[in-house]
Amino acid sequence: MKTSIKHIITNITLMLSLALLPANIVWAEGGDPGGFASLIPLILIMVIFWVLLIRPQQKRMKEHAEMIKALKKGDKVITGGGVYGRITHVKDNVATVEIADGVAIKVKQDTIAGLQESPAPQEKKAHKDK
């Protein structure tokens, strides 16, 4: 994973230096940079921000909204506060989550962080052995 981050940083640095090159050449020659040539670095930075930050965040928000719509009774979930539980009732953007036998709390649906993943079969066996 670290190699991919290094790769991304290297690519960003290369793109920025290439984008700034025309403006630097004009400045070194003592001329006045053209209107569009001075906007190229700004446009490139905006595109980089969109690709690296805004677009992935929009994708995560869309996936979370789809997960919230698909919640149903019996789903094991994790709330934004880190509470694990099982949904017992869903109505009007509020979910009732049972966190222990006979203990249920009401949470706003969009505060549910995600579905609880079941441990792998080997992990279950290891927990039983202890």
The Cβ of residue 21 has, within 10 Å, a number of other Cβ atoms equal to 12
pLDDT computed for residue 1 by the predictor: 46
pLDDT computed for residue 13 by the predictor: 72
| DSSP secondary structure string for all residues of 62-97 | HHHHHHHHT--TT-EEEETTS-EEEEEEEETTEEEE
pLDDT computed for residue 2 by the predictor: 54
Distance CA 78, CA 7 (A): 34
Mean pLDDT by 10 residues, the chain (130 residues): 67 68 56 69 87 89 93 93 94 93 94 81 57
pLDDT computed for residue 72 by the predictor: 92
Bridge partners (DSSP) listed for residue 79 = 112
pLDDT computed for residue 9 by the predictor: 74
Residues 6+ apart with CB under 8 A from 94: 106, 107, 108, 109
- Six-digit token pair at 83? 């509470």
